[in-house]
Structure 1
Amino acid sequence: MSGTTTGGCLCGAVRFTAQNVPAKAGVCHCEMCRRWTGSALIGVTVALENVDWQDETHLGRIQSSHWAERGFCTRCGTGMFFRVTMDSDYSGDIELPIGVFDDPDGFEITNEIYIDVKPDSYAYEGQSDRKLMTRAECHAKFGVLAENAD
């Protein structure tokens, strides 16, 4: 990836342009992400300053925990982003679901987190090639999660 990439919600009310989008995507199987997306969150991490929302009129936000927020279209409900709001090493980035990109091709899943709570009804190809982390490993690596276990 890289260069300029565009995307938006189902109804078109929320649109964005993103720059320097990496080709590496990750999957989160935690309960919050599963409930938010209806499955797993497959997302790509982009620096917050590299995402330009064309019109934020219909871009809603919900503080999904005291340390993070999720953005969505207030007209159609499409989940648009996940962002850490608590001051931390991760608060300068935004996680964009790959499904909101106009062209979602070209992403490679390189890691899956909360793998031990993943439903047994699906699996992604190539698991041996990616980093897998359990809930406990995520809590150990990302201290804010351990302090505020979901």
Structure 2
Amino acid sequence: MCRKWGGGPLLAVDCKGDVSFSGEENIGLYQSSQWAERGFCKQCGSHLFYKLKQNNQYFIPVGLFEKCEDIVFDHQVFIDEKPKYYCFANETKNLTGAEVFAQFAPPE
């Protein structure tokens, strides 16, 4: 889903719930699942965030940050669904889709 949303892997910063926005009238929301929503700019269509509803945890695309020299690429999710046409050189913690859902999706 993230590759379709952004045309490639989503490189995002886990901002927990420590997020505030100005210009909220310009933010559109898409309910992408029972447990998450995606925010986008109503003016230009830029991706703004992926948010877990249960704990208001925001994942914000790294490209939106002007200063990102201290960001560390330390894990990948849905590694079992990664296409073969790219591979990152970093050593990371890798989670399968099932592991991600077990960690973030609320119990049914």
TM-score of Structure 1 vs Structure 2, range by shorter chain: 0.7 to 0.9
Cα RMSD between the aligned structures?
Answer: 1.8
Structure 2 gaps of 5+ residues are: none
Aligned-partner SS, 2:20: strand
Aligned-pair CA distance for 1:97: 0.9
Using the TM superposition, give the Cα deviation of residue 96 of structure 1 relative to its aligned residue in structure 2, in angstroms.
0.8
Is 1:60 equivalent to 2:28 in the alignment?
Answer: yes
Q: Kindly indicate whether residue 71 of structure 2 is the aligned counterpart of residue 123 of structure 1.
A: no
Shift of the alpha carbon at 1:115? 0.6
Identity %: 35
TM-score normalised to structure 1 length = 0.64
Distance 1:56 1:94 in 2: 15
1:135 aligned to 94, 97, 105, which one?
A: 97
Deviation at 1:143, TM superposition (A): 4.5
Whether the 8 Å contact between 2:35 and 2:105 is mirrored in structure 1 is no
**How many corresponding residue pairs?**
108
Corresponding residue number in structure 2 for 1:98: 62
Tell me, which stretches of 5 or more residues in structure 1 are unaligned? 1-31
TM-score, structure 2 length as denominator?
Answer: 0.86
Higher relative contact order (CA 8 A, sep 6+): 1
C-alpha change, 1:95 and 1:143, in structure 2 (3 Å) is closer
